[in-house]
Structure 1
Amino acid sequence: MHAHVTRLADIFAMLGGVILFVIVMVTTTNTGAFILDRILAPVGVNVSGLPGYEDFVQLAISGAALMFFPYTQASRGHVAVDLFVANAPMVVKRVLDHMWLILTAAVALFLAYWMINGLLESRSDAAVAGVLGWPIWPFYIPGIASMILWAIVSVSQIFGDARYA
């Protein structure tokens, strides 16, 4: 089970990376258009930027950024302070680690809960992006899924991690 959850976290991170790549490409295109506009303006040629660029980046980054949390948890890439427990008995390290994993799962589920509320409120308000007119609520879904996966990864580490075996 732990291996499958870790693999899913890898897939989420790769999808987040693809979204970030698209954001970079759109940003590069938009910036290139502004540069061309400044270069060609003296000869009477206008090159416009991408309409709704800011909307797209805001909506895309909101999900992509959260898609890395499960991977970071799965690879134990989060900040750990071992200074005070470096010489503690293994049982103390295991108990502290399990407590933090449970707390991490609880925080992730808490965030998912509030994101679900935000999704529902955004949907009921029919909130849309200012320029593009895209509904905002679907962009909550990757973040909610990421928070739930982050919690699952944390819990799976309690039962499947060989770190303190």
Structure 2
Amino acid sequence: MKLSVVESIKAGLRRVSFSFALVGGLIMLSLAIITVASIIGRTFFGQSVEGDYELTEVGLAMSVFLFLPECYLRRGHVIVDLFTANCRPATIRFLDNTGHLLFTVVSVIFAYRMTLSGFESKDYYEQTMILELPIWWVYVVGVIGFSVCALCGATQLLSGPSGEHNE
């Protein structure tokens, strides 16, 4: 069976977004271990993990950026169908496509703005207080995450009706 170009890109994006989600999950697991070690160290030994709050802040930001494409492709976003429950399928498709278009545009805008902010952060040597980690590389993860989100939105828009409806 021959796949169309859009379906091939969509399959590749599914693999990439799943891989991103796994990396985000590993980051979250690492943060949980660091937090537990810090609490145990603080409670029993009077010494916590240095910079644990900074690591948590940076790690959570990166994890969220990495989870976004997978959440979008799995249609994990919140849908309130109070007004659309009894609409015709054509209306639902129109609203879905409008949502895909808006999601794509917003993702492109966020990626663009985060690119500018990342360059500014690098130019001004912005870093965390205790560990002195550079902040600009968190923006890199955000730009990549939003770029993949924009590609996911565009492929959803171009692939046409999928027959999937949220409950």
Question: What is the rounded CA distance, in whole Å, between the counterparts of 1:82 and 1:50 in structure 2?
Answer: 46
Question: What is the rounded CA distance, in whole Å, between the counterparts of 1:54 and 1:15 in structure 2?
Answer: 20
Question: What is the rounded CA distance, in whole Å, between the counterparts of 2:82 and 2:98 in structure 1?
Answer: 17
In the alignment, structure 1 residue 122 sits paired with structure 2 residue 121 = yes
Give the greater-gyration-radius structure (CA).
Answer: 1
TM, length-normalised to structure 1 = 0.87
Where does residue 136 of structure 1 map in the other structure?
135
Question: What is the rounded CA distance, in whole Å, between the counterparts of 1:32 and 1:144 in structure 2?
Answer: 35
- Measured against aligned partners, the alpha-carbon deviations of 1:71-107 in whole angstroms (never above 9, x if no partner) come to 1110011112223223322222111111110001111
Where does residue 163 of structure 1 map in the other structure?
163
Where does residue 41 of structure 1 map in the other structure?
none
Question: What is the rounded CA distance, in whole Å, between the counterparts of 1:89 and 1:134 in structure 2?
Answer: 53
Question: What is the rounded CA distance, in whole Å, between the counterparts of 2:139 and 2:115 in structure 1?
Answer: 8
Q: How many percent identity over aligned positions?
A: 25
Where does residue 36 of structure 2 map in the other structure?
28
Where does residue 3 of structure 1 map in the other structure?
11
Q: What SS does the corresponding residue of 2:44 show, helix, strand or coil?
A: helix
In the alignment, structure 1 residue 68 sits paired with structure 2 residue 71 = no
Gaps of 5+ in 1: 38-46
Question: What is the rounded CA distance, in whole Å, between the counterparts of 1:78 and 1:163 in structure 2?
Answer: 17
Where does residue 6 of structure 2 map in the other structure?
none
Deviation (angstroms), 1:133:
1.3
Deviation (angstroms), 1:131:
0.8
Runs of 4+ residues over 6 Å off in structure 1? none
The structure with higher relative contact order (CA 8 Å, sep 6+) is 1
Q: Which of 20, 25, 30 lines up with 1:17 in the alignment?
A: 25
TM, length-normalised to structure 2 = 0.86
Q: What SS does the corresponding residue of 1:34 show, helix, strand or coil?
A: helix
